[in-house]
Chain A
């Protein structure tokens, strides 16, 4: 159990376009979902935390108008990279958690590799 999917797994787009990435918890209800970005050979960088039905909490330095997060249901969160630029090329990973309790691990999606030309 506790499977998280992401779609698409990879995407190539032109500079200036917008890209939407979906994150779904397939067999559990995720009260909290997280969006991470990871550049090559670097660690995970948390971008934002979202709870179903409320606005996402963005980490310092992450532009909320550029990275739009919608957490419409307990099983779906979306990240839209608006007006993408080559520097936005990265590995975007979502994770989902059943709750805040200490033992609640985050279950990770397989990631989406974004390349902006």
Chain B
């Protein structure tokens, strides 16, 4: 079956750096997405990786290793507004988006 694993919850301190990992096992691969979702709101797009390596976008970076079925989202200079759930999603060979359960990130002052 298809599976995406990410930690359920993480806690970090304001101003610090946090890495949220995601491992996947899917039938085919057509890219990996990271989304941010604040409580009670819809997800918003953060990043897309289809080739191995690191994609940097401001305070957020996303890394992909296709051979390892692994990605991480790196958040730098954490701010209180970064408290949210972070969803990892993979497009499989049918271009269907398979969602992880999300990682709830709690930022403490």
A and B form one complex = yes
User: Could you give, for residues 33-52 of chain A, a 1 whenever the CB lies within 8 Å of some chain B CB and a 0 otherwise?
Assistant: 01000000011101001000
| A46 proximity list for chain B (CB < 8 A) | 97, 99
| B31 proximity list for chain A (CB < 8 A) | 102-103
Interface size class on chain B is: 20 to 34
**Contact in complex: A44, B41 (CB < 8 Å):** no
Given contacts A44-B87, A103-B31, A105-B33, contact A110 B41 (CB under 8 A): yes
A93: min CB distance to chain B, Å: 5
**Contact in complex: A43, B87 (CB < 8 Å):** yes
Nearest 5 A/B pairs, CB to CB: A102-B30, A102-B31, A108-B42, A100-B95, A43-B101
**Contact in complex: A103, B42 (CB < 8 Å):** no
Q: What separation, in Å, do the CA atoms of A101 and B91 have in the docked complex?
A: 9
CB of A107 closer than 8 Å to a CB of B: yes
